[in-house]
A and B are shown apart, each in its own frame.
Chain A
Amino acid sequence: MDLLNINNLRIEFPSRHGTVIAVDDVTLTVQPGEVLGVVGESGAGKSTIGNAVIGLLEPPGEMTGGHVLLKSEQIDTLSPEAKRKIRGRRIGMIFQDPLTSLDPLQTIEQQLVETIDLHLKLGEKKSQERAVDLLRQVGIPDPENRIKNYPHQFSGGMRQRVVIALALCAEPEVIIADEPTTALDVSIQAQILELMRRLCKDKKVGMLIITHDMGVIADITDRVAVMYHGKLVEEGTTAKILGNPDHPYTQSLISAVPRPDVRLKRFPMVNYIEAESERPKNIDLSTHWLGRHRDFEAVDGPLLSLKNLVMTFVTRPAFLKRNRVSFNAVDDVSFDIAEGEVFGLVGESGSGKSTVARMICSLYKPAAGEVNFAGTDLTKIKSETERDYFRRQMQMIFQDPFSSLNGRMRVMDIIAEPIRFHKLATSNREVEQIVNDLLDHVGLGARASVRFPHEFSGGQRQRISIARALATRPRFLICDEPTSALDVSIQAQILNLLKDLQEELGLTMLFISHDLPVIRQMCDRVGVMKQGKLVEVSATEDLFERPTAAYTRELLDLMPRLDQLSHEGLEVVER
């Protein structure tokens, strides 16, 4: 007997502009003790399936076809009250962001006891005991004392354990995990996935895991269902889907996954989704504004050289200096980047990567150390004119494509602003021509210039950010996690674009990422950061093949194994 059946599920969202079919004729089954992965990109309808199974479809969404059966009992037609009784009791749910999944004003004990007592009717005392026991099962040290804490007193990974404990409160038969590790660091992700897999096998729980991350799929699932635009395009064992996919969409998706094992020249076949990913009209860089005037003064030695950089943040201010508590977000970091090189900076969240980037472009003033750019120590510059001269040569691309563009400005003005500020063009007509060419060059097309940022998808916005960064004709580009908010196929397109631009314009890049496979695809040399310190710097291929620092080895071990991935049609960079 199947544990969970989803038969011919169809979900529609009526709207003013006609009905959107979010899920179209999807059939899935989950067996006891099995982990089924549902993979697809944002908007594919994955999460909607999870919400429909537990009866929490957000209005105006409604099920217009199909059934959901739990142990052969139809549950989608039950009354709201009966559905509520199934939630938490028989079907548990885990959400993406552990930082927002818990009520911030209640101790985790209050939240656990309320849920346990509701479903199991154990009474206050027994519920407390069970709560402590659950916390121990999910690996929270010292559960007797920690249970009295509030959510904000736990780290992200620990909070996700609390969330899992809450989902396990009443020993549900099915767990639906919606992107359970997306908000976590790799080392925490590995631990949480291991925990979930173990709980699933020990307790014979069926798990539906919804994710966009092929690493998670490879790590934990037994079978995979691939969704595209609300439809199920392919289903099979994990090895089959990863190693030998049939459907062109799956093939495209797999080819876009950054590989930890080899370095590719470009990502092949990634154009399944975004229609505008082709570069319709390339400009001739030898004659165009963007390519001309790249006659920066040549530098002896490295273009950028950091010497013993330190950044200190005060975590507990106090009137007396000796009572202040501070920590070094960046602690004695030195490295060089040569002209034309792509230097990667990798590390977990809080390791100080972004702080280094901000010190380089003078957003933060270092507590000590030097930032030498083209032979000048930027930390010693006093005059604004001189600072602007260097700012023009140095541009930044940020992680979040939604908050890094001013939503009240048209794309034209967003990109034209740096050109006008640095007076890089003589007339308004020239500025507009340059903006249109830039938009063409990053693959958006000049039509985009009259629109506002909210009209674009995440990937398209990141292209706007890239065009804006290019608008000062920089020689040095800082990319701070430029693709970590994007879907995998969009990520591959953006990385391809960055690779092309770097080659065409001979840009020097600092590429910051927490994602080792992405680093391998992009960078010539890599620095590994841990708690503000640089633990290792070496050529990318050496780092992956012969890591020297223990921490680097640890990080490499935590990378999801993607050995099963198909190798068809790849162009590998020879060493």
Chain B
Amino acid sequence: MISFIFKRLLQSIVVMLAVALIAFSMFRFIGDPINNMVGQDTTQEEREALAERLGLNDPFFVQFGRFALHAAEGDFGISYKYREPVSTLIKARLSATLELSFVAAVLTLVVGIPLGVYTALKGKGLISKGIMTLSLVGVSLPTFLIGILLILLFGVILRWLPTFGRGDVVAIGWWTTGFLTASGIKSLILPSITLALFQMTLIMRLVRAEMLEVLRTDFIKFARARGLPDRSVHFKHALKNTLVPVITVTGLQLGALIAFAIITESVFQWPGMGLLFIQAVSDVDIPIMAAYLVLIAFFFVVINMIVDILYFTVDPRLRADSAA
């Protein structure tokens, strides 16, 4: 187990270095960094002095090493547009994105898994046929459309919920949270549903398919032949055996939730990293883009680590291999 974690850590470092290399090469190949920083009337001498001061004349690998070291400390330089350190900008918006993604992920699991189990067990009922049909809508409608429709219905027509922003937030250190105010929670509802809807239907369909598969296995048949009640057969034996693939997909989707909250954030003007990133793209604000890239890769790597460790706790067969 420990050697396994150690191996995964080494792999993670390689992945992070590769991503850092791509992020770093953006500086070199998308426009000239000096031009991006200085005004039109700067003289050639001043430009060269700046390049020398910023280390832009050093060899490629020295520059990359410097970038990677700084990035490891959370220092991604200064935004071209805001003239502020990128780390400060991201910190201010990180909490918004993470809270939104967290709520969406919880919603996905809390709704998706039970619906998946229900439709697997009661496959012939009218309700599960209805759910399956609706889930097709969830899979096929694009996120921005769902967001706009929700805004139209709950924000414009019914006027129940706010249509943009985070509402009032409470600051705890550098972290700002919307969980502690009524308007904060109200503001979370529409964006998190929008973000979760696709994932929800995905998890539901996955759980349903896995569950149907497991229900056909011999050990379920044998459990029934021992007279175990349906409740135990379905939840104690069958559901647990569907979890390994569900964990895999949930982990990957959680990363996707954080990374691709961009659309939802733009629709709801949610002050998160996605919004920051979109603006950075249109402004060619490379330090922010680089930082975003590295940060999202970091989230994916961490989540995947957690997923791998969860495998060990769920499936004893994997534990045995490393213990033997």
Residues of B within 8 A of A115 (CB): 226-228
The answer to whether B317 touches A104, judged by C-beta atoms less than 8 angstroms apart, is: yes
Residues of B within 8 A of A85 (CB): 227
The answer to whether B224 touches A56, judged by C-beta atoms less than 8 angstroms apart, is: yes
| A-B CB contact pairs (8 Å), 10 listed | A87-B227, A97-B218, A100-B218, A105-B315, A106-B236, A106-B237, A106-B240, A118-B226, A118-B228, A150-B316
Within 8 Å by CB of A102, from B222, B225, B229, B240, lies B222
Q: Which among A28-36, A88-96, A214-222 touches the partner chain?
A: A88-96
Residues of B within 8 A of A106 (CB): 236-237, 240
Within 8 A of A (CB), among B226-251: 226-229, 232, 236-237, 240-241
The answer to whether A93 touches B225, judged by C-beta atoms less than 8 angstroms apart, is: yes
Total chain A interface residues with beta-carbon distance under 8 A: 33
Which of the listed residues A84, A96, A103 has the most CB atoms from chain B within 10 Å of its own CB?
A103
Query: With A105-B241, A166-B226, A316-B324 in contact, is A114–B314 under 8 Å at CB?
Result: no
Query: With A115-B226, A118-B228 in contact, is A103–B219 under 8 Å at CB?
Result: yes
CB distance from B281 to the nearest CB of A (A): 43
The answer to whether A167 touches B316, judged by C-beta atoms less than 8 angstroms apart, is: no
Residues of B within 8 A of A114 (CB): 228, 232, 236
CB distance from A401 to the nearest CB of B (A): 22
The answer to whether B225 touches A163, judged by C-beta atoms less than 8 angstroms apart, is: no
Give the docked Cα–Cα distance between A132 and B81 (Å): 72
The answer to whether A104 touches B222, judged by C-beta atoms less than 8 angstroms apart, is: no
Query: Nearest A residue to B317 by beta-carbon distance?
Result: A152
What would 18 more interface pairs be, CB under 8 Å, given A93-B225, A93-B226, A103-B223? A84-B227, A92-B226, A93-B222, A95-B222, A95-B225, A96-B218, A101-B218, A101-B222, A103-B219, A104-B316, A105-B240, A114-B228, A114-B232, A114-B236, A118-B226, A118-B232, A166-B222, A316-B324
Q: Is B217's CB within 8 Å of the partner chain A? A: yes
Q: Is A153's CB within 8 Å of the partner chain B? A: yes
The answer to whether B227 touches A89, judged by C-beta atoms less than 8 angstroms apart, is: yes
Q: Is B221's CB within 8 Å of the partner chain A? A: yes
Within 8 Å by CB of A86, from B223, B224, B227, lies B227
Residues of A within 8 A of B236 (CB): 106, 114
Query: Nearest A residue to B322 by beta-carbon distance?
Result: A316
Give the docked Cα–Cα distance between A528 and B227 (Å): 44
Give the docked Cα–Cα distance between A102 and B222 (Å): 8
Q: Is A529's CB within 8 Å of the partner chain B? A: no
Q: Is A226's CB within 8 Å of the partner chain B? A: no
Within 8 A of B (CB), among A107-139: 107, 114-115, 118-119
Q: Which residues of A contact B (CB under 8 A)?
A: 54, 56, 84-89, 92-93, 95-97, 100-107, 114-115, 118-119, 150, 152-153, 163, 166-167, 169, 316
Q: Is B320's CB within 8 Å of the partner chain A? A: yes
Give the docked Cα–Cα distance between A274 and B206 (Å): 42
The answer to whether B227 touches A103, judged by C-beta atoms less than 8 angstroms apart, is: no
Interface string of B298-324 (1 = CB under 8 A from A): 000000000000000011110010001
Query: Nearest A residue to B321 by beta-carbon distance?
Result: A316
CB distance from B279 to the nearest CB of A (A): 47
Residues of B within 8 A of A102 (CB): 219, 222
Give the docked Cα–Cα distance between A100 and B213 (Å): 13
Query: Nearest B residue to A169 by beta-carbon distance?
Result: B226
Residues of A within 8 A of B315 (CB): 104-105
Residues of B within 8 A of A153 (CB): 320
The answer to whether A56 touches B219, judged by C-beta atoms less than 8 angstroms apart, is: no
Within 8 Å by CB of B224, from A87, A104, A150, A152, lies A87
Residues of A within 8 A of B225 (CB): 54, 56, 87-88, 92-93, 95
The answer to whether B227 touches A105, judged by C-beta atoms less than 8 angstroms apart, is: no
The answer to whether B320 touches A150, judged by C-beta atoms less than 8 angstroms apart, is: yes
Residues of A within 8 A of B317 (CB): 104, 150, 152
The answer to whether B219 touches A104, judged by C-beta atoms less than 8 angstroms apart, is: yes
Give the docked Cα–Cα distance between A114 and B227 (Å): 11
Query: With A93-B222, A100-B217 in contact, is A84–B316 under 8 Å at CB?
Result: no
The answer to whether A104 touches B241, judged by C-beta atoms less than 8 angstroms apart, is: yes
The answer to whether B227 touches A95, judged by C-beta atoms less than 8 angstroms apart, is: no
Within 8 Å by CB of A163, from B217, B222, B237, lies B222
Give the docked Cα–Cα distance between A118 and B228 (Å): 7
CB distance from B318 to the nearest CB of A (A): 10
Give the docked Cα–Cα distance between A316 and B225 (Å): 38
Give the docked Cα–Cα distance between A167 and B218 (Å): 14
Residues of A within 8 A of B324 (CB): 316
Query: Nearest B residue to A88 by beta-carbon distance?
Result: B227
Give the docked Cα–Cα distance between A150 and B318 (Å): 11
CB distance from A273 to the nearest CB of B (A): 27
Give the docked Cα–Cα distance between A88 and B240 (Å): 23
Within 8 Å by CB of A95, from B221, B229, B240, B314, lies B221
Query: Nearest B residue to A107 by beta-carbon distance?
Result: B316
The answer to whether A119 touches B227, judged by C-beta atoms less than 8 angstroms apart, is: yes
Residues of B within 8 A of A97 (CB): 218
Give the docked Cα–Cα distance between A88 and B229 (Å): 11
Give the docked Cα–Cα distance between A102 and B320 (Å): 17
CB distance from B8 to the nearest CB of A (A): 14
Residues of A within 8 A of B241 (CB): 103-105
Give the docked Cα–Cα distance between A152 and B314 (Å): 14
Interface string of B191-221 (1 = CB under 8 A from A): 0000000000000000000000000011101
Give the docked Cα–Cα distance between A89 and B227 (Å): 7
Give the docked Cα–Cα distance between A316 and B315 (Å): 19
Within 8 Å by CB of B228, from A88, A101, A107, A167, lies A88
Residues of A within 8 A of B219 (CB): 100-104
Give the docked Cα–Cα distance between A56 and B219 (Å): 14
Query: Nearest B residue to A83 by beta-carbon distance?
Result: B227
Query: With A104-B241, A104-B317 in contact, is A87–B226 under 8 Å at CB?
Result: yes
Residues of A within 8 A of B227 (CB): 84-89, 115, 118-119
Give the docked Cα–Cα distance between A103 and B316 (Å): 11
Residues of B within 8 A of A119 (CB): 227
Residues of B within 8 A of A150 (CB): 316-317, 320
CB distance from A563 to the nearest CB of B (A): 35
Give the docked Cα–Cα distance between A54 and B317 (Å): 32
Give the docked Cα–Cα distance between A105 and B311 (Å): 11
Within 8 A of A (CB), among B128-159: none
Which of the listed residues B217, B222, B240 has the most CB atoms from chain A within 10 Å of its own CB?
B222
Query: With A105-B241, A163-B222 in contact, is A152–B316 under 8 Å at CB?
Result: yes
